[in-house]
Amino acid sequence: AAGVIQSPRHLIKEKRETATLKCYPIPRHDTVYWYQQGPGQDPQFLISFYEKMQSDKGSIPDRFSAQQFSDYHSELNMSSLELGDSALYFCASSPRDRVGEKLFFGSGTQLSVL
């Protein structure tokens, strides 16, 4: 079965650089969520999109922005990167009939800021 696809798998950046993370949801899933997970921590909700509109917002820094495109894929844009942004970033999607439930997570993007 198709899963949530995230790219890149690993990303290394310098402080103050920018990064773009991509997420391709499961086919026929039109809801996308972004989470940040530090080492040994629980996933922290950043932002979500439903039908290409921002739906809910969590602890996403102002330096980060995200959007969902017409084909339902989503991108997380991160600017002015800081050392503390180093983390695993997960994207998840949920089915049309279970919006807000049944989240399926991708394998994540490991971001390292040096």
Partner 1 sequence: GENVEQHPSTLSVQEGDSAVIKCTYSDSASNYFPWYKQELGKGPQLIIDIRSNVGEKKDQRIAVTLNKTAKHFSLHITETQPEDSAVYFCAASIGGGGADGLTFGKGTHLIIQP
- Tell me how far apart the terminal alpha carbons of the chain are, to the nearest angstrom: 36
Site string for partner 1, 62-91 (x = CB under 8 A): ----------------------------x-
Peptide bond into 8 cis (omega under 30): yes
Tell me how far, at minimum, the Cβ of 58 lies from partner 1, in Å: 5
- CA separation for the pair 71, 68 (Å, rounded): 8
Task: Candidates 21, 43, 66, 76: give the one binding partner 1 (CB under 8 A).
Answer: 43
SS3 52: coil
Task: Candidates 24, 64, 78, 106: give the one binding partner 1 (CB under 8 A).
Answer: 106
